[in-house]
């Protein structure tokens, strides 16, 4: 993992960054339905779990855009990671608690899926907030609320408002007009990305779901 510092004075986004971080500190949420009809059918045929497929799909699109990899490091320096890995929640049905696990990202789905299954085997039953320790700094959060098909979701993070990476929350998928739709909420920081960038992300997520046969294993 490489953190590439950004020289603010040479950055085309300088005025936007300074406005939305120092003058009007601003985050925003966007929720959209992703059509996963084809993806679900393919996963069922191949015996692949949905959650890791969605995690990989989101992470792949996030890594294609520097706006979603831009943040402040532990020393407060502004920069952009060369790659991000997902940190995701898992639910413990017996006591209704959850834990967080991270899995090293790779664009090849087979490799990522193997690491996901290995992490779940090792840490899936660990009852603590951070089930897998030593989480690297280049991770971003993904969670799931599979009990409700929400139409909107907003996180209220009470800190200094300087967390710049995106945060994603999935809802319960549902059927509508012979399509299976998944609500997906994204929390974004206006200092590093605008509605245009969020729109690109959702459109690319839909395209990746539609073309899942290109990145899922053939067997």
Cite the active site residues. Answer: 190
> To which H or E segment does residue 43 belong?
helix 37-46
| Cα Rg of the chain (Å, integer) | 18
- Of 75, 123, 129, 125, which Cα lies nearest the Cα of 103? 123
Whose tokens are 């120092």? That residue is 22
Residue 123 token pair = 């840490």
Distance (Å, rounded) from C-alpha 171 to C-alpha 37?
Answer: 15
> Whole-angstrom Cα distance, residue 100 to residue 167?
14
**215 touches 208 (CB < 8 A):** yes
Helices (H) and strands (E) in the chain, counts: 5, 10
Rounded CA separation 58/72 (Å): 21
The helix or strand, by DSSP H or E, that contains position 125, with its residue range, turns out to be: none
């Amino acid at each position: 993992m490489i953190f590439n510092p950004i020289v603010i004075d040479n950055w085309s986004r300088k005025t936007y960054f300074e406005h939305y971080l120092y003058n009007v500190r601003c985050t925003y949420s966007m929720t959209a339905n992703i059509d996963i009809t084809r993806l679900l059918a393919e996963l069922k045929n191949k015996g692949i779990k949905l959650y890791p497929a969605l995690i990989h799909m989101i992470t792949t699109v996030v890594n294609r855009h520097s706006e979603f990899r831009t943040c402040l490091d532990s020393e407060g320096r502004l920069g952009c990671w060369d790659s991000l890995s997902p940190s995701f929640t898992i639910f413990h049905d017996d006591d209704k608690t959850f834990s967080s696990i991270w899995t090293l990202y790779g664009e090849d789905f087979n490799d990522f899926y193997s690491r996901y299954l290995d992490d779940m085997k090792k840490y899936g039953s660990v009852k603590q907030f951070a089930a897998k320790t030593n989480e690297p700094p280049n991770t971003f959060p993904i969670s799931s609320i599979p009990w409700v098909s929400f139409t909107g979701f907003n996180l209220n993070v009470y800190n200094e408002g300087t967390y710049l990476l995106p945060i994603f929350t999935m809802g319960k998928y549902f059927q509508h007009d012979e399509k299976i739709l998944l609500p997906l909420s994204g929390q974004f920081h206006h200092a590093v990305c605008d509605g245009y960038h969020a729109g690109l992300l959702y459109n690319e997520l839909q395209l990746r779901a539609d073309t899942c046969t290109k990145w899922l294993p053939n067997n």
